[in-house]
Structure 1
Amino acid sequence: MIYAIVDIETTGGYGKRHRITEIAAFLHDGEQVLDSYQTLLNPECEIPHYITGLTGIDQQMVEGAPVFREIADELYDFLQGKVFVAHNVNFDYQFIKAEFDRVGREFDLPKLCTVRLSRKIFPGLRSYSLGSICESKSISITDRHRAYGDAEATAELFGMLVDADDQGVIASLLKRNSGEAFLPPNISKEQFMALPEKVGVYYFHDINGKVIYVGKALNIRSRFKGHFSGAVKGKQAMKSEIHSVSCQLTGSEFLALLVEALEIKKHWPKFNRAQKVKGTSWGLYRYQDGAGFERFQVAKISRFTKPLLSFKSHHDAWSYLLEKVAHYNLCPKLCGIQKTAAECYDYKLGKCEGACCGQEDAASYNQRVGDWLQQMKKERARLLIKEKGRGAGEDAAILFEDGVLKAYGFVNREDDVVADTGFLDFLDPVKPVSETTYILEQYLAKNFSSNVIMLDEV
């Protein structure tokens, strides 16, 4: 069996968007190096300054270098039929596969990762970065962060791994159906299998234990696999930084959503970009006009105003108002939805009774507004929501005040959580997070039933 030990330098971290600037490969038969290949590549795009600072490769160096399509055939022949080996193998492999995809060549080789091999064959090292392993094994790197120097050092490391592999680790990892190919290099199969197949929130930690990602899942183990199976767009950097995984069970998806929002605000993980948004900035305001009609407006929240309700986006506020106009037959003009035209448009929202054109008096119109406000008040009262617990005989108890998550915990199903409100003392209080208001509103739209208890009426 022949192994191709590969290293590349690139313009960034994602193979389908960034390009290769240098590639080197050493053919190894498990005992010695047989051949080598190396070239700079013109990426046909700008090389970022920070990449130049790391690798020393600048625009001028690659100006006269071949583009990938010009070396694709010879590189393909060099690698074909070999086992593809690299340090953090999925990074190098996805770049080279993407380059072959661009020129219409199929690229599919078995892979081995020297990070994963090192963790299994050389356990207990302080770090498994290439520089750290080479230092611990007295392997010199002649040109760090250049493809040839790093590939040469990786080839020497691979030879040591083959010599020390008395447990058949390499052979077991080469089984295409071993089930470990998708795993991040620093996560073992044992760690993966220890993850529960239950509902909850999970955390990815870096080498120092810092939380770098928080997510929620109906099946934590399955969701973890989904992060890294198949296309991993934008996930390569996260994949290489994960060193451990932890989780907490919630019993229900609703509580998992709430805890996820709390934990993202608490830890501010570097890879939760989509959820790390600013707090609520749009509000629904109410006022009365000169004719005595109740009116509404969606507007930005300022430090000097207090809205009836707050929302994380204009779209959320607008959608909520549209739904209430339809439900209570309110006037689109008086609610700030329609800005022009003498008569109300038919928004398929219900029928305006003529408040905007003298066909309905203020008292009659305001009665329907009052019905809405009364329902709103109920929904913003102290709510206790009972959800499925983490196991048999347990309920999750979730407390909201003024629409924001206040506390949550787990109680025995045998306890009467309504008759004895003393159980509230046993819930864990949480710091208010505005995103929980939106999660509650989505929940109440579908679940305002016996599991929602208004404590102020108990």
Structure 2
Amino acid sequence: MLDNVCFALVDLETTGGQASHDQIMEIAVRLVGEGVNDHWESLLDPMCGVPRFIQGLTGITPAMLKGKPTFTDVQNTLWALLDDAVLVAHNARFDAGFLRANFARQGRQYSPRVLCTLKLARTLYPEWPKHGLEAICEQIGFHSEVHHRAMADVDAMKAFFDYARLDKGEAVFNFELGLQLGFPVLPPLMTQSDIDLIPCQPGIYRLLSEIGELLYMDGATSLQEAVLAHFSSCAGDSKATKLARRVGRVEWQLLAGELSVGLRLNPLLRQHVPQMQRRAKTLGKPCSVRFVATTGAVTRLRLRSGLPAKVDLASESFAIFRDRQQAKKCIEEQLRLCDLCMHALNIVSERDQCTCSACEAGDVGTEHSEDAVVKLNSRLLAAFTEYLYIPWPFQEPIVIREDNGNGFVEWHLVNHWCYYGSYYWDSVQEAFCELDKAESGVGDWIGVLAARLKCEQGIDFDYQHYRLFHRNMSRLTCIPLSEMTTIK
């Protein structure tokens, strides 16, 4: 079982089912854990009558309880047994509720970690027709002369514990216990040694089933940390739990850093379909929003698919978005935040309703003074600053150098925000080789001139690549292609 954890297997017999007014009339506790094996039981005087139904169910009569200690009398003994132990019970909510209520009457707050053997049985053995304690005893071949007495039921729980641990194996058993208790867990088919082998470096990882099915794929700046994060959030019947139950091994590919991960991950997700991951969205054309300015008039917004022709020579400012849907959503949000008028910008349709302060005041269509126009145009551009297209800042193609800090370097070939591949650079040969092929030793080497010709090939603008380069270029080394022959 889980190392250094003490389990207190507990069963209560009570005068009824309501902890607020019914009383405990028998308690049994068995401690189980590394080097721990203790037990205690006692009948208690409930200081009230015992319904005939309860007498018939448990065999406990008022005469048996006469002169027995009360809960107040045994509270110190019981607290010493339960303190710092995990409470284990069948339908544990019932037992935990009674203990919590009775300790509260003594001025003590009882808030243990709780493990329910009813939930555990349903999880480990969903094929069993019933999961009551008597039905479980029948399934595992545990025979008891007595039922519905505290220590007899505790012994039945202990028998189920031992059976499940041997039948399912220590790894599966501990995994399900850890899930219920909120402890960090590892997939049953993996060990800590498997996790220790995963490097704390950037790359792409794949979570595979025992037979090699691709379950999940993602990228991270620390592979080990990202993989462990999947299992630290397991709880109940969540997606993370279902994934952890199936993971048999982890594969990974080391990369140079965040930029390399971003460039490679999305194509892989579109090429492969992980079974337990949402399919990567197919991207449409990016959408640009032009700011059409007329002297003395309010700037108008114009949406169009794709980028303007000769984008880097365009004299007008424009914003760029992943697609038309994102553009419209952003426009609506920015107009609302900056209190800009849809009518003034000429972007309102019949079904739209402008909520700017001017329209709310009934001033729609009001002529703006020259000073007001200047201020309105300034606010409009400021609202979209984050999304404004940045012209290509170089006179030629560049190579972006990315280093993972452990000697692994990638060179990303880029021109006008378009991505032409990631390479290994050999300063002796003064040539590039595609990284994947260089690692296998079968790649073709291309010189700087061939790389320049490659960059003259027209490829479609990729919005995600643009955002990746724009976000990462300031922290990475960007070298004009013509200067690569000076790199040693």
With the length of structure 1 as denominator, give the TM-score of the two structures. 0.47
With the length of structure 2 as denominator, give the TM-score of the two structures. 0.45
